Chains A and B, each alone.
Chain A
């Protein structure tokens, strides 16, 4: 597996579909998604509650999004560190892949980032703003929660 693969969490993909940055992101970067997180990406909602289906199958078939299947043994490494009751399965699988296969991980969840720090893998975290800045043309971050500074200040607070 390529070291340059960056795993995106479910929220990044859902917001990508919602705010229209998914295609530019996939065109510019080698993006993967943990198998259990992939299963979560089904739809997004507009502010008024309207539901829109997300179909990632075409980008998977085209090879621009890679589903990465973690193993139970890899997951065990993360569960053994006692973080499971705070994080979702998709995040835990992604973290296990970061540890065992040295992938990068794009998430806006400060607890996931904090866990990366605790696991000694903080440098593998990529903020969405950094990925979007490299898109052509550069995309706007849809929410301040995706800014490195926002997440870092939250992580510092939970230290």
Chain B
């Protein structure tokens, strides 16, 4: 990050940034807070008073170099939040042993990814439309820390496996809830298969998922993750049956049919059309033309409604920690990203029975 960027952010001349760097000018608390937000680093890290950061997270910071500075700051903020999350779990007696079942074989083909999806759907009894409960299952049953932050347009999401705080997924909440659900399933695959995908980069402490770029071949793990997500969220047989049912009396599906299907499965229309192409129900060219159709996009927008996808376990634990007097009111406001004046409202939303709901889930044997 350049001195100009930092100077702009702090509202001070570039020469003042230079003086701060050389120790010629003292940094104020407000400036330190602004820098903390700019870099996504906790203030104690910037002050050098935090505990040593584990090696795998330092590797992560190197892995992030591919993305732009604001997204990098958000990913760092995510990692810091995961450490807060772990601390909240410890204070509230809600520490989980994650129930991630790694596949025994090294995955190398689409059918293997799809089989894994079927196994996971069955393991968690997710039914034929898992999108509607996947977030709750991953947060409350599997024990994955899921957080949502705006991370720009370069990243769909990220997943991290840390010795310090376990598995975690970051969703880009600038995207639609339907797209976030697909990202959730996609990242879940990466956490399940860490280092067990043939031809991929191998086990990485952090995985950053960028949207596909036309003409650029992606890591083998990315393609398998998409196959996994599609099969998990839109199980083949049920998907085909639904389309057959819709198309019974007509030759083609209308935009409204596609939107209904997407709503039924809880995914985006793009995911539905891509799934149809994956299953050879339509040629890829038709799929591309369909989701580029302005009329369809307009209809999707008009029917989008006010749906949101909100991971809540972190917030419930933060409120629980506040009610049990482990954290102060203003710290709760920071953790929930709200103004102090709105804390009572959030306590009502995430407190009470909700805050006390954190009962460990016993996995079926």
When the two chains form their complex, are residues B328 and A86 in contact, meaning their CB atoms are under 8 A apart?
yes
When the two chains form their complex, are residues B325 and A154 in contact, meaning their CB atoms are under 8 A apart?
yes
A152 is an interface residue with CB less than 8 A from chain B? no
A73 is an interface residue with CB less than 8 A from chain B? yes
Q: CB-CB contacts of B37-48 with A at 8 A, as 1s and 0s?
A: 000001110111
- Among residues of B, the one whose C-beta sits closest to the C-beta of A10 is B340
A90 is an interface residue with CB less than 8 A from chain B? yes
Question: Could you say which of A22-30, A55-63, A109-117, A125-133 contacts chain B?
Answer: A109-117
CB < 8 Å: which of A43, A89, A154 contacts B43? A89
Q: Other than the known A40-B330, A40-B340, A87-B331, what 12 A-B pairs have Cβ atoms closer than 8 Å?
A: A36-B30, A71-B29, A73-B26, A84-B43, A85-B84, A86-B327, A87-B328, A91-B328, A109-B329, A110-B325, A111-B328, A157-B325
Q: CB-CB contacts of A30-62 with B at 8 A, as 1s and 0s?
A: 000011110111111100010000000000000
- Chain B residues with CB under 8 A of A39: 30
When the two chains form their complex, are residues B33 and A36 in contact, meaning their CB atoms are under 8 A apart?
yes
Q: CB-CB contacts of B308-336 with A at 8 A, as 1s and 0s?
A: 00000000000000000111111101100
- Among residues of B, the one whose C-beta sits closest to the C-beta of A110 is B325
- Chain B residues with CB under 8 A of A42: 339, 341
B237 is an interface residue with CB less than 8 A from chain A? no
When the two chains form their complex, are residues A45 and B341 in contact, meaning their CB atoms are under 8 A apart?
yes
Q: CB-CB contacts of B17-37 with A at 8 A, as 1s and 0s?
A: 000000000111111110000
Q: CB-CB contacts of B200-239 with A at 8 A, as 1s and 0s?
A: 0000000000000000000000000000000000000000
Compute how far the CA of A79 lies from the CA of B32 in the bound complex, rounded to whole angstroms. Answer: 13
Compute how far the CA of A71 lies from the CA of B47 in the bound complex, rounded to whole angstroms. Answer: 11
Smallest CB-CB A-B distances: 6 pairs: A88-B330, A70-B29, A72-B27, A79-B49, A111-B328, A88-B331
When the two chains form their complex, are residues B43 and A79 in contact, meaning their CB atoms are under 8 A apart?
yes
- Chain B residues with CB under 8 A of A45: 341-342, 344-345
Compute how far the CA of A112 lies from the CA of B43 in the bound complex, rounded to whole angstroms. Answer: 18
When the two chains form their complex, are residues B328 and A88 in contact, meaning their CB atoms are under 8 A apart?
yes
B87 is an interface residue with CB less than 8 A from chain A? yes
Nearest CB of chain A from residue B172's CB, rounded to whole Å: 26
Compute how far the CA of A47 lies from the CA of B327 in the bound complex, rounded to whole angstroms. Answer: 24
**B interface, by DSSP: helix, strand, loop or mixed?**
helix
Compute how far the CA of A72 lies from the CA of B47 in the bound complex, rounded to whole angstroms. Answer: 7
When the two chains form their complex, are residues B26 and A71 in contact, meaning their CB atoms are under 8 A apart?
yes
When the two chains form their complex, are residues A76 and B49 in contact, meaning their CB atoms are under 8 A apart?
yes
Listed in ascending order, the chain B residues whose CB lies under 8 Å from chain A are 26-33, 42-44, 46-49, 84, 87, 325-331, 333-334, 339-342, 344-345
User: What are 24 residue pairs bridging A and B, where the CB atoms are less than 8 Å apart in the complex?
Assistant: A10-B330, A10-B340, A35-B29, A40-B330, A40-B340, A43-B341, A45-B344, A45-B345, A70-B28, A71-B29, A72-B29, A75-B43, A76-B49, A79-B43, A79-B47, A84-B42, A88-B329, A88-B334, A90-B330, A91-B330, A91-B331, A96-B29, A154-B325, A158-B325
- Chain A residues with CB under 8 A of B48: 76
Nearest CB of chain B from residue A31's CB, rounded to whole Å: 17
- Chain B residues with CB under 8 A of A84: 42-44, 49
- Among residues of B, the one whose C-beta sits closest to the C-beta of A97 is B29
- Among residues of B, the one whose C-beta sits closest to the C-beta of A108 is B329
CB < 8 Å: which of B42, B43, B44, B330 contacts A11? B330
When the two chains form their complex, are residues B327 and A111 in contact, meaning their CB atoms are under 8 A apart?
yes
When the two chains form their complex, are residues A109 and B29 in contact, meaning their CB atoms are under 8 A apart?
no
Nearest CB of chain B from residue A41's CB, rounded to whole Å: 8
When the two chains form their complex, are residues B325 and A72 in contact, meaning their CB atoms are under 8 A apart?
no
When the two chains form their complex, are residues A112 and B328 in contact, meaning their CB atoms are under 8 A apart?
yes
Compute how far the CA of A86 lies from the CA of B30 in the bound complex, rounded to whole angstroms. Answer: 19
When the two chains form their complex, are residues B87 and A69 in contact, meaning their CB atoms are under 8 A apart?
no
